[in-house]
């Protein structure tokens, strides 16, 4: 994912780096050196236009742009960041023939959606640097690496350790009945159980994927295969009680026992509510929020836990992986320079440390340290004894996820019944679920 924090558009132009894409579908093997000697020369000025949807990483992106300026003084990177309507604007740019040299999409299924515009990075050093799990998320169905991970990710419920202790909750809830019990104990102490950001369409997919994982396990199949059946119209919610009953029951619980006016609470409002101690659990979010929480309350004691999807505690899983990809425009006039820049970022010592110390995200590459933050540390420790849940959001396109979020907003807003929402979600999966 996604696509967080305040909907906004930030346009920044900074002197630096080498970003662009190739004039054909051929794989580039320019590596770390070839770009500067391929067409432009070491001193020729180069401008790279980079268009992303991650405003929370504005400062971090500017940092690597500035650092790369020391490596390639002749390169200027124009960084444009937009969150609201990013997908619409990107498609307009592509349709108008002004595809940015670098642009951002979701990973997984959307790797194929934008394949015809993406440089093949399969044989580049940056691809070899990716972890195996991340590389799968960046690869097309025919096995080509067509994306660069913005970051590794962790998606979970986040909880306030102090508030749970104040309510006498000694075991973090992992099942539906344990969650019900925790809600009762919290409210008995005057504590609001849930902070939500249901104004945002993308938080819904982060929650829903946990129930899809459980439904797949119950059906004896994989999450990818189950999503494929929904896209093909071969199964329905009613075939999977975890989806038809448990998911909606959980959402109903978070609304009934959550902060007021849930459809008016965006990502920033949710983080503020949670960090200020106004709620015990934060839904729909992940590791990217920790710094914002700690800026509001430096002494905040947070914990992470999967979603209570059923009465099976083993189905309560953290979800990890890479859900956001940068793409290099294969028809860019500066494709070689762009690939050279990203090879530097993903293989240099600065780049390896940039993820953990500057962006403070979970590195998507090998041999890179974890950031000094609570969520990644807890994740590392938990995954020593527990498996990770599948990043199921990657098996559908964001066009589906956006429609899904809108339908769930209509459901909690009361304009659609549960069955109406379910029917239209299933129709949207068939209509928007696949790139093919």
Residues with Cβ within 8 Å of 140's Cβ and at least 6 positions away in sequence, in order, are 111, 112, 115, 146
Count the neighbouring beta carbons within 10 Å of the beta carbon of residue 75.
28
The token pair that represents 268 in the structure block = 């920033």
Instruction: Report the C-alpha gap between 250 and 310 in whole angstroms.
Output: 10
Identify the residue whose tokens are 């015990």: 280
For 294, half-sphere exposure in the C-beta direction (CA atoms, 13 angstrom radius) is 13
User: Where residue 86 falls among pLDDT bands split at 50, 70, 90?
Assistant: confident
Q: Whole-angstrom Cα distance, residue 391 to residue 317?
A: 11
Q: Is the pLDDT of residue 261 over 90?
A: yes
For 122, the 3-state DSSP assignment is coil
Average pLDDT estimate for 287-311: 95
Q: What is the pLDDT of residue 56?
A: 80
> In terms of pLDDT, which residue wins out, 153 or 188?
188
CA atoms within 13 A on the CB side of 312: 12
- Between CA 254 and CA 360 the distance in angstroms is 29
Triad 147, 378, 56: Cα angle to 5°: 45
Q: Tell me the C-alpha distance between 322 and 155, whole Å.
A: 10
DSSP percent split of the chain into helix, strand, coil, nearest 5: 45, 15, 40
DSSP of 1-52: ----SS--EEEEEEE-------SSSSPP--TTTGGGGSSS-SSS-EEEEEEE
Nearest to 395 by CA among 232, 152, 229, 228: 228
pLDDT tens, 360-396? 889 999 989 999 999 999 999 999 999 999 999 989 9
Question: What six digits make up the tokens of 147?
Answer: 């994306």
Nearest to 8 by CA among 68, 117, 82: 82
Residue 87 has pLDDT above 50, yes or no: yes
- Please report where in the chains the tokens 């990177």 appear, as a residue: 77
What per-residue confidence (pLDDT) applies to 85?
Answer: 80
Q: Of 391, 240, 257, nearest to 319 (Cα)?
A: 391
| Maximal C-alpha separation, the chain | 70
For the ranges 108-122, 126-140, 410-424, the maximum mean pLDDT occurs at 410-424
Q: How many CB atoms lie within 10 A of CB 137?
A: 24
CB 74 within 8 A of CB 340: no
Q: Between 226 and 19, where is the model more confident?
A: 226
The whole-number pLDDT of residue 426 equals 98
In this prediction, residue 435 carries a pLDDT of 55
Q: What is the average per-residue pLDDT within 344-363? A: 93
Q: What domains are there in the chain, each with its CATH number?
A: 9-151+323-365 (3.40.190.10), 153-321+380-432 (3.40.190.10)
Q: What does the DSSP 8-state code read for residue 118?
A: B
């Amino acid at each position: 994912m996604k696509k967080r924090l305040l909907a906004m558009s930030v346009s920044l132009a900074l002197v630096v780096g080498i970003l662009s894409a190739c004039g054909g579908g051929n794989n580039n093997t320019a590596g770390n050196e070839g770009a500067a000697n391929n067409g432009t020369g070491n001193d020729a000025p180069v401008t790279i236009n980079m268009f992303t949807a991650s405003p929370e990483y504005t400062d971090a992106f500017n940092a690597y742009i500035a650092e790369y300026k020391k490596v390639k003084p002749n390169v200027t990177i124009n960084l444009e960041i937009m969150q609201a309507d990013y997908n619409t604007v990107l498609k307009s740019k592509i349709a108008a023939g002004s595809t940015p040299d670098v642009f951002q999409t979701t990973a997984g299924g959307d790797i194929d959606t934008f394949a015809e515009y993406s440089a093949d990075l399969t044989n580049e050093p940056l691809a070899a640097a990716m972890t195996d799990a991340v590389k799968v998320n960046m690869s097309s169905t025919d096995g080509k690496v067509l994306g660069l991970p913005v970051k590794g990710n962790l998606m979970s419920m986040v909880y306030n350790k102090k508030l749970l202790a104040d309510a006498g909750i000694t075991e973090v809830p992992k099942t539906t009945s344990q969650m019900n019990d925790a809600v009762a104990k919290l409210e008995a102490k005057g504590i609001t159980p849930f902070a939500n950001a249901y104004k945002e369409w993308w938080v819904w997919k982060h929650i829903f994927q946990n129930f899809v994982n459980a439904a797949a396990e119950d059906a004896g199949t994989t999450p990818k295969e189950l999503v494929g059946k929904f896209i093909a119209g071969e199964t329905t919610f009613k075939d999977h009680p975890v989806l038809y009953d448990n998911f909606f029951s959980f959402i109903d619980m978070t609304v009934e026992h959550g902060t007021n006016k849930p459809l008016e609470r965006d990502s920033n409002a949710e983080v503020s509510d949670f960090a200020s101690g106004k709620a015990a659990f934060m839904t729909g979010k992940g590791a990217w929020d920790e710094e914002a929480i700690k800026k509001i309350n430096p002494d905040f004691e947070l914990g992470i836990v999967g979603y209570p999807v059923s009465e099976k505690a083993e189905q309560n899983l953290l979800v990890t992986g890479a859900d956001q990809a940068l793409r290099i425009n294969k028809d860019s006039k500066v494709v070689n320079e762009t690939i050279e820049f990203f090879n530097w970022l993903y293989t240099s010592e600065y780049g390896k440390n940039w993820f953990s110390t500057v962006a403070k995200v979970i590195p998507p590459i090998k041999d890179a340290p974890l950031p000094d933050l609570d969520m990644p540390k807890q994740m590392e420790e938990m995954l020593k004894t527990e498996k990770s849940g599948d990043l199921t959001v990657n098996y559908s396109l964001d066009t589906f996820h956006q429609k899904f979020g809108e339908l769930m907003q209509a459901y909690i807003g009361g304009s659609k019944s549960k069955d109406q929402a379910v029917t239209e979600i299933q129709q949207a999966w068939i209509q928007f679920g696949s790139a093919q």
